[in-house]
Amino acid sequence: RTTVFSKLPRIKNEKWISIGRLDINTSGLLMFTTSGDLANRLMHPKFEIEREYAVRIFGELTEEQMSKLKLGVKLEDGLAKFDEIRYQGGEGANRWYQVILMEGRNREVRRLFEYFNLPVSRLIRTRFGPVSLPSRVKRGMMLELEVKEVEKILKWLDMPFSMVSRNESLNKVKARK
């Protein structure tokens, strides 16, 4: 199966590192870098970097269920919760929610909704930390960030620009399989 790595530009003497991952049924923002320090700073749970998703479910959450999802529910690999959850509307049996969480455990967003027997029919990562997915970036497109954008991210992370050399790149991809 073809992966998003095959779409990235070839680089010499370095390798691309995916910042987080998206499962086969998830689309949206996927970032890549050649800096291990930057990848670690964005992904490690101790840094509590927000990940934001647009989620379409079949069904509707009650206020009580939304409260429980913010307090935390026990999944098979421990307590999981959304830091924020907002109803965004919907029609028919489908409802959209915007959720924010601080870690990215395997299928965590889907499993949180499935806890209440509400299957996720669409999941799109719209933001990872300070980087939002621009609406102009369509399915399968890639956008290389300008140096100023990378500097802004490093400043937000309180990382010196010298930690990421000028020949290291940060790319973001709207990866929809």
pLDDT at residue 29 greater than cutoff 60 = yes
Identify the bridge partners of residue 51 per DSSP, sorted by sequence position: 101, 128
Are residue 121 and residue 173 in the same domain, yes or no?
A: no
Are residue 74 and residue 119 in the same domain, yes or no?
A: yes
Are residue 148 and residue 173 in the same domain, yes or no?
A: yes
Are residue 142 and residue 84 in the same domain, yes or no?
A: no
pLDDT at residue 63 greater than cutoff 90 = yes
Q: In this prediction, what percent of the chain has a pLDDT beyond 90?
A: 55
Are residue 122 and residue 61 in the same domain, yes or no?
A: yes
**Catalytic member of 23, 77, 83, 158:** 23
Q: Where does the pLDDT of residue 164 fall: very low under 50, low under 70, confident under 90, or very high at 90 and above?
A: low
DSSP H or E segment with residue 87: strand 84-89
Per-residue tokens: 69: 């999802």
Q: What is the domain count for the chain? A: 2
Are residue 168 and residue 112 in the same domain, yes or no?
A: no
**For position 17, what pLDDT does the model report?**
92
The answer to whether residue 158 is catalytic is no
Whole-angstrom distance, CA of residue 42 vs CA of residue 157: 8
Mean pLDDT, the chain, as a whole number? 88
Three-state DSSP class for residue 111 = helix
Closest among 143, 121, 109 to 9, alpha carbons compared: 143
Are residue 104 and residue 56 in the same domain, yes or no?
A: yes
Q: Which domain holds residue 75?
A: 50-128
- Where a domain ends, among 90, 111, 128? 128
Are residue 134 and residue 93 in the same domain, yes or no?
A: no
Closest among 99, 90, 94, 100 to 121, alpha carbons compared: 94
Whole-angstrom distance, CA of residue 164 vs CA of residue 144: 15
Does 25 reside within a domain? no
138's CB contacts (< 8 A; 6+ apart) are 174
Are residue 110 and residue 139 in the same domain, yes or no?
A: no
**For position 173, what pLDDT does the model report?**
44
Confidence (pTM): 0.86
Q: Where does the pLDDT of residue 95 fall: very low under 50, low under 70, confident under 90, or very high at 90 and above?
A: very high
Taking only the tens place, the pLDDT of each residue in 105-142 is 889 999 999 999 999 999 999 999 999 999 888 888 88
